[in-house]
Amino acid sequence: MPRNPERRFVILDRDGTIIEEREYLSDPDEVTLIPGVGAGLRDFQKMGLGLVVITNQSGVGRGFFDQLQLDRVHERLRKLLERESVHLDGIYVCSHKPEDDCVCRKPKLGLFEKAAKDLGFSLNSSIVIGDKASDMEMGRTAGATTVLVRTGYGSETAVGGRVAADYLVDNLPASVKIIRSLLIKTECTQ
């Protein structure tokens, strides 16, 4: 009897990866999808992949804005994605300051592990897409496939090869072909 493989997930950074980078974003009206992101995320869904956002939002911990404002930002993000026929399986947020040394702030695995437990997937079968070193480090520590995008801080992050990523692409839509190819390879080896 054929085995039903575990659903795989794409773990997405928020700012600079799926929405335009804005320092300490707290105004829902400033949430803007990066061009092509909707189509790219739709393609991932068509491949059967789950979609989770994991984001560090220290602006809450620093008192720049509160949880309610952050919730409004995420509500706006979900609405923009719904217009693109995209559904997020979850948004996981670390609102601590870097100096709090919490277990949930990327590059630590706390939120990644929580999402995996909540949604029933394994870390090492996941694909992490982001624009910062902390995204790549989190993914590599988890044994996931890592994709560094050049949007947001990605171009700066990629300079000099200081960050180990499995793949480097211009933007999220450019990762679709790579991920499709990876999924086909995985299917062929099972």
Residues with active-site annotation: 13, 15
| Distance, CA of 153 to CA of 125 (rounded, Å) | 25
Q: Could you give the 3-state DSSP secondary structure of residue 132?
A: coil
102's tokens: 């919490």
Backbone angles phi, psi at 109, to 5 degrees: -95, 0
Give the CB-side neighbour count of residue 175, counting CA atoms within 13 A.
31
- Cα Rg for the chain, rounded, in angstroms? 16
53's tokens: 């956002």
| Distance, CA of 123 to CA of 35 (rounded, Å) | 28
